[in-house]
Structure 1
Amino acid sequence: MLDIPSSVSVDVEALMAAQNHMGVCDAIEQYAPVGKPDTMTAPHFPKVAGIDSTVPPPAHTVAPASPEPAPPSSPGAPGAPGALIQDRLAGWVSDLTTLHELTERLARTAFMNDALHEVLRAGAALVGARRGLVVLEPADGLGPETTVGLGLARADLGHIETVPRGATSYGRILDRTDGTGEPEVHADLLSEDGLDPRHREVAARLGYAASFALPLATDAAGRLGAAVWLYDEPAEPVERQRHLVGLYTRYATEHLARLLELERARTKSRTIAEELLPPRLPRVAGVQLAARHRTGPRGGGDWYDALPLPEGALGLTVGSVTGSGASAVAAMGRLRASLRAYAVMEGEDPVAVLSDLELLLRLTEPARSATALFAYCEPALRKIVLAGAGHSPPLVIGERRTEFVETSLSAPLGMLACWEAPSVEFSPEPGETVLIYTDGLLHRTGDPMDRAFARLHAAAAGVPRTIRNDPGAIADHVLHTVLPDGLDAADSDEDVVLLAARFE
C-alpha cells in the first residue's frame, strides 16, 4: 500500500484532470508521491452493451486483500485521498500493461493483412465491441486499398459497402480534408434522426445498433484509413476506453505505415519479376506448353522460358538465382536474356549453352550462384537433349510410366572454376508430358528432399486420365497436390516454377 502521511493534501480533481489532459506517465510522475504500493488492483474493462472485454487482466496483478475497517478520519478510509490515489495509479498501471501487450502483438506482425486483423481484434477488446471493419485507403492514392472485417463475412462487408459512402462512419472520416479529427460516434443508430435509409436497413439486417469509428492517421504517416467497431446494442465507449484506443491506434498507424512501404516494395518486385518472364508461350507444332509461376513476397530469381529455334526445334529452360529481392530479380533477368542468346547460337548443344552461362555468371555476378536446366527439343522426332547445373531432374508423366529422368550430377553454376557436365538424351512417348520445375516446389512442402520428391512423384502418378491431354491441367493438379492447404498461393521466400510440355 502507498505510504502517505496523514498530513499530505492531494487535489483529487487536479489528479483526474491530469489523466484526461496529460499523458499517463506524466501524470504519474507529477502526482504520485514517493513510495511503491505492495499490491495493485487491475480491474477488467467495464462491460459495454452486454459484451465483456477479451483482454485479460495482467498476470502479475492480484486481487486486493480486504482492508481492515479504518476510522473515518484515517487516510486509509474508502474516501480518503490516499485510497483514491492508489486506485487511480493501479488503474493506470493496468492500462499501460494492457497497451504494452497489445502493441507487442501488433509489432510481431510482418504483413499488412495480419496487422489489420490484429488492429481490429485489439480495438474491439479496448472499446468492448464484438465486430468491426477497417478500411485501408491511403491518402496518396498509391494503394493498396482493401477492407478487412472482424466477425463479418465477405457478404456482410458487401452489404455495408452498398451504403452511400457519405452516410458511413468510415466514409465521413476518409472524405475529410486531412483524414484526422474527432471520432465518429453513433450510440443508437436505429433511433438516430437523419440516418440514411439504406444504412438503417443494413444495420438492422446485420444486427448492429451502434458504432464507434476512428481515423488511422498521424502527422508523420498521413491518413491510411479508418477503423469502425460495431455494437450489438445501443452503446458507446466511455472516456477511459476512448483514451486507450486512441493511444493504440496512433501506434498502430505508424506500424501500418511501415508495413505499407514494405507491401508496395514487394508488389513492385513481384511485378518486375512477372514482366521479365515470357508474357505468353510459343506455339510449336508437335508440342503443347503450359507454365505456372508463383513469386514470393520479396520477389525471387526463378525463371522459365520456351524459345522457338531453327529447323522447328524448341528450347526449354528453367532456373533459379540465389537470393531474393530486387537484386535477385535483376540478376535473373540478365541471365535469362543471356541464355536466350546462347540458345539461338548453340542450342543443339545444351552443355555449351550452360557453359557459356556459367562463364558469364562468374564474370558479372561473382557473388551469386544459380541452378539451371536447358533442354533442346525436336518435337517432330520426340527427341530431347538436356543438361542441368545443380537442378532437379525432369519428370515424365504418361499412361504407362511416371518417372524421373536420369541426369548427370552437377554443381550449380558459379560454384566451380569451370562448369561442364555431360548431357543426356531421351525420347518421350506420344501423349507423354515432360515436367520441369524449380526447387521451390520441393522446398515449399517443408519436407526433407527425399520425401518431397516422393510427394511430387505420387502427385504426378495420380493425375486423372481425363486431364492427361492438357498440360495446364496437369501442372495445376501437381501444384495443388504437392502444396495442399493453399501453400501454392501462400507467401513464402521460395518461388515456384513449373513448365509442362506434352508431346503429340
Structure 2
Amino acid sequence: MSAPHPPKVAGIDPPVPTAAHTVAPASPVPEATAGTLADTVPAVPAPHPPVAAPGTLLQDRLAGWVSDLTTLHELTERLVRTSALEPALDELLGATAALVGARRGLVVLDPGDGGPRTTRGLGLGRADLGHLETVPRGALPYDTAGTAEVVHADLFAEDDLDPRHREVAARLGYAASYALPLATDNAGRLGAAVWLYDEPAEPRERQRHLAGLYIRHATEHLARLREVERTRACVATITGELLPSRLPRVPGVQLAARHRTGPRGGGDWYDALPLPDAALGLSVGSVSGSGPSAVAAMGRLRASLRAYAVMEGEDPVAVLSDLELLLRLTEPARSATALFAYCEPALRRITLAGAGHSPPLLIGERRTEFAETSVSAPLNMLSCWEAPSTEIEAEAGETVLLYTDGLLHRSGDRMDRAFARLHSAAASVPRALRQDPGAIADHVLRMVLPDGPEAADSREDVVLLAARFD
C-alpha cells in the first residue's frame, strides 16, 4: 500500500524532507550464532538524532522574516513608482502572482463610490475576461463587495459550483483560485484581486500573509491614483469648456486647433473671433502656474481679450496693452505671454503683436520660416509693457501656425534645438497634407513629439492654431 501524497500548495510540490543522519545498515546475523554474539558483545545503544539548538531555530526564523520584509519592500517600492492607474494594476498583478505562486490572475476595480468598473488581466486575453464576465455575480471566484478572502482549492470537487462557472473554468483551464478584496478603512472598497491555478492548489499561510500586506498597501496607492485621475479629468473638462467648442467659418481662411492639457492642468489658450469688416482675430497665450487656479485665470484673461479685440482689434498693440493693465490691477502676482493677430483674409494680411511669445511659423510651398516679430517681455513682468506691431502677408495656400511654448518645452530639447525641430517638422509636411490645416497641425505634433504629447513629462499644455489662407 503506497503512502498518501501530501496536497499541493500554491501549485508547487512540497519539498521532500531529508534525514538528519545516515547510519550504515547492520549486517544480518545468522540465527544460529545470535545467542553467542549476544553473550560476548556488549549491547550498544541506538544513536539519538541531534536536537537543533534554540539559537539556530531563532536565527532561521529571523532570516525568514528579513527575507520576507526585503521582498515586500522591493515590491512596494516598484508599485509606488507608478504614476497612472493602468501601470499600477499591471505591477500589482505581477507582484502578487509571484507572492502566491500563480501564473494568471485579474484585478477588478468596482469602487463603492460608484466609479467606473475596470478589469485588468495577467495571462488572460480580452476574450478570457469576457468569458469570466458571463459568470453570475454571486458565483464569481471573487467578491468585490466583500472584505474576506475567497478560496477555491479544487473547483471541480465542489458539488455546489455554479454550472456556468464550471464551464468557464474548464474553457480557461484553471482548477483553483484565490482572491483578496481591495479594501481598507481609509480607501474604502475598491474591488478585488484573484489568482488562478492550473490545478488544485492554494497558497500557504506565509504566502497569504505577504499577499495581504502587499494588497493593503496597493489599495491605498490605487485610491490615490484614482483621485489624481479624477482631478485631471475634471480639470481637462473645465479647460475644454473654457476654450472654443468650435472654430468660426470665415471666408478666405480655414482654421484648425489642437490642444492637449498637461498632467496638472495648465493655463494655455487659443481663440479665433470674427471681427467687423470680415476680419478675424487670432490669439494664443499662456498664464503662469498650473492647476485649477491657472485654468481659472486663463478663462478670465481669454474672455477679457475677446472684449478688447472687438473694441480695438485692428490695433493689436492696444489690445495687449489693455490686457496687461487688467492683469496688473486684478492679478498682480501672475504673468502671462500672449500673441494677438488681426487678420484680413481678403488681403491675406496679418498684423500682430506679441508679449513674450514665440513667433508664428509660415508654412507654404516655397517657404517655411518664422515670422519676424519684435522682442518683448511677458505681460506684468515690467513696469509697463510696450512693443511695436509687425505686419506679414501670406501667399495663397500658405498656413500660419500659432503655438504656445509648451510644444517646445515638451520636446525635451534646448530652446534653440526645439525651434530647429519645429521648423524641420513644418518643412517636412507632405504636399498632400498642405491643403488641410488640421493635418498640418497633426503632422507637426507627431514630428516634434514622437512619443505623443501625453507621454512627455511636462506640466505644460500644448496648443497649436493653424490658419490656411485661400
Structure showing greater radius of gyration is 2
Work out whether residues 322 and 370 of structure 1, in 8 Å CA contact, stay in contact via their aligned partners in 2: yes
Matched, 1:364 2:330: yes
Matched, 1:319 2:291: no
Matches of residues 180-191 of structure 1 in structure 2 within 5 Å?
A: 180=147, 182-189=148-155
Structure 2 counterpart of 1:390: 356
- Once the two structures are aligned, what percentage of the paired residues are identical? 79
Cα distance in 2, alignment partners of residues 390 and 93 from structure 1 = 58
1:168 and 1:384, CA in 2 relative to 1: closer, same or farther beyond 3 A? same
1:489 and 1:255, CA in 2 relative to 1: closer, same or farther beyond 3 A? closer
Q: 2:451 aligns with which of 485, 488, 498?
A: 485
Work out whether residues 339 and 355 of structure 2, in 8 Å CA contact, stay in contact via their aligned partners in 1: yes
Work out whether residues 255 and 466 of structure 2, in 8 Å CA contact, stay in contact via their aligned partners in 1: yes
Deviates more, 1:206-215 or 1:464-473: 206-215
Work out whether residues 338 and 354 of structure 2, in 8 Å CA contact, stay in contact via their aligned partners in 1: yes
Specify the code of the residue in structure 1 equivalent to 2:97: A
1:84-126 deviation digits (Å, cap 9, x = unpaired): 3332232222222222222233233333333222222221121
Cα distance in 2, alignment partners of residues 203 and 470 from structure 1 = 53
Q: 1:244 aligns with which of 194, 205, 210?
A: 210
Q: 2:121 aligns with which of 133, 149, 158?
A: 149
Matches of residues 295-334 of structure 1 in structure 2 within 5 Å?
A: 295-334=261-300
Which SS does the other structure have where 1:323 is aligned?
A: coil
1:417-467 deviation digits (Å, cap 9, x = unpaired): 111111111111111111111111111110111111111111111112222
1:313 and 1:186, CA in 2 relative to 1: closer, same or farther beyond 3 A? same
Which SS does the other structure have where 1:319 is aligned?
A: strand
Work out whether residues 9 and 204 of structure 2, in 8 Å CA contact, stay in contact via their aligned partners in 1: no
Which SS does the other structure have where 1:169 is aligned?
A: coil
Work out whether residues 260 and 453 of structure 2, in 8 Å CA contact, stay in contact via their aligned partners in 1: no
Cα distance in 1, alignment partners of residues 54 and 319 from structure 2 = 86
1:42-65 deviation digits (Å, cap 9, x = unpaired): xxxx9842599xxxxxxxxxxxxx
Work out whether residues 354 and 374 of structure 1, in 8 Å CA contact, stay in contact via their aligned partners in 2: yes
Deviation at 1:320, TM superposition (A): 0.7
Runs of 4+ in 1 over 6 A off after TM superposition: none
Deviation at 1:350, TM superposition (A): 0.7
Deviates more, 1:335-344 or 1:392-401: 392-401
Cα distance in 2, alignment partners of residues 49 and 452 from structure 1 = 55
Deviation at 1:200, TM superposition (A): 4.6
Task: Give the superposed CA RMSD.
Answer: 2.6
1:189 and 1:498, CA in 2 relative to 1: closer, same or farther beyond 3 A? farther
Structure 1 counterpart of 2:27: none
Matches of residues 397-476 of structure 1 in structure 2 within 5 Å?
A: 397-476=363-442
Deviation at 1:234, TM superposition (A): 3.2
Which SS does the other structure have where 2:346 is aligned?
A: coil
1:202-261 deviation digits (Å, cap 9, x = unpaired): 445544443221110012221012112233343221111111111111122122222322
Deviation at 1:503, TM superposition (A): 0.9
Q: Per chain length, whose mean CA-contact separation is higher, i.e. which structure has more relative contact order (CA < 8 Å, sep 6+)?
A: 2
Structure 2 counterpart of 1:137: 110
Which SS does the other structure have where 2:284 is aligned?
A: strand
Structure 2 counterpart of 1:167: 139
Structure 1 counterpart of 2:180: 214
Matched, 1:88 2:88: no
Structure 1 counterpart of 2:29: none
Work out whether residues 257 and 464 of structure 2, in 8 Å CA contact, stay in contact via their aligned partners in 1: yes
Work out whether residues 9 and 201 of structure 2, in 8 Å CA contact, stay in contact via their aligned partners in 1: no
Which SS does the other structure have where 2:182 is aligned?
A: strand
Give the TM-score taking structure 2 as reference length.
0.85
1:308 and 1:211, CA in 2 relative to 1: closer, same or farther beyond 3 A? same
Work out whether residues 51 and 130 of structure 1, in 8 Å CA contact, stay in contact via their aligned partners in 2: no
1:458 and 1:200, CA in 2 relative to 1: closer, same or farther beyond 3 A? farther
Cα distance in 2, alignment partners of residues 207 and 445 from structure 1 = 47
Work out whether residues 389 and 413 of structure 1, in 8 Å CA contact, stay in contact via their aligned partners in 2: yes
Cα distance in 1, alignment partners of residues 451 and 169 from structure 2 = 35
Work out whether residues 189 and 209 of structure 1, in 8 Å CA contact, stay in contact via their aligned partners in 2: yes
Q: 2:311 aligns with which of 341, 345, 360?
A: 345
Structure 2 counterpart of 1:49: 11
Unaligned runs of 5+ in 2: 1-7, 15-19, 22-46
1:381 and 1:119, CA in 2 relative to 1: closer, same or farther beyond 3 A? same
Cα distance in 2, alignment partners of residues 394 and 163 from structure 1 = 58
Work out whether residues 410 and 457 of structure 2, in 8 Å CA contact, stay in contact via their aligned partners in 1: no
1:252 and 1:376, CA in 2 relative to 1: closer, same or farther beyond 3 A? same
Which SS does the other structure have where 2:277 is aligned?
A: helix
Work out whether residues 210 and 234 of structure 1, in 8 Å CA contact, stay in contact via their aligned partners in 2: yes
1:252-296 deviation digits (Å, cap 9, x = unpaired): 212222232222222211211111111111111111111111001
Number of aligned residue pairs: 434
Structure 2 counterpart of 1:107: 80
Unaligned runs of 5+ in 1: 1-45, 53-65
Which SS does the other structure have where 1:299 is aligned?
A: coil
Work out whether residues 111 and 117 of structure 2, in 8 Å CA contact, stay in contact via their aligned partners in 1: yes
1:424 and 1:206, CA in 2 relative to 1: closer, same or farther beyond 3 A? farther
Cα distance in 2, alignment partners of residues 255 and 275 from structure 1 = 30
